[in-house]
Amino acid sequence: MKDRLTLASSSSIRARLLENAGLSATVTPARIDEDSVKLSLLAEGASPRDMADTLAEMKARKVAERGAEGLVLGCDQVLSFKGEVLSKPETLAAARAQLLRLRGESHQLLSAAVIYEDHTPIWRHVGVARLTMRDFSDSYLDAYLERNWESIRWSVGGYKIEEEGIRLFRTVQGDTFTIQGLPLLELLSYLTLRGTLPK
């Protein structure tokens, strides 16, 4: 890979997606107060798409300003449900309540990625996936959470489709990379077009 790549994220899933695609990236998490930024954006009436894009850009800019060389990739994911942005459930009880709200309904996952170079944003993309949950039983939900809480506790929806969480769904529209938090296909296309990756 021609350009040095820094991932401004603490997400092990994003780092693994890049590694599996053959990209070598230095992981340098950006430290921003996401909750306060989200509250501010919500107060301004920002759309879920704008919220994901803004947070991804803030992360990339923060790490770029620290002097990271080459390309800095910032990412963020937002869950939109009936016009409301849902946050990562902080407790098992909160995850249960959130999944009960989503049960039998459709929601969107918006995964934003922004690349900075020389303190300037040079590329951005927001991938969108639409997911519809099946009408699972309370007993299955409780068993699912008991088995998977440690794995899903950092996931915005309270599930991982690459694991048992796929059993919560009836239909999924969108690529799995976007659902996992990184619009990887679009990122790879851009890096190939600019010559960072070989054609």
Tell me, yes or no, if 76 is annotated catalytic: yes
Q: Measured between alpha carbons, how far is 47 from 97 in angstroms, rounded to an integer?
A: 24
Instruction: State the Cα torsion 28-29-32-38 to the nearest 10°.
Output: 130
Q: Which residues on neighbouring strands pair with residue 111, listed in sequence order?
A: 77, 127
Catalytic residue among 76, 118, 142, 175: 76
What single string gives the DSSP state of each residue in 72-137? EEEEEEEEEETTEEEPPPSSHHHHHHHHHHHTTSEEEEEEEEEEEETTEEEEEEEEEEEEEE----
Place of tokens 């099946």: 134
Active site (catalytic) residues: 76
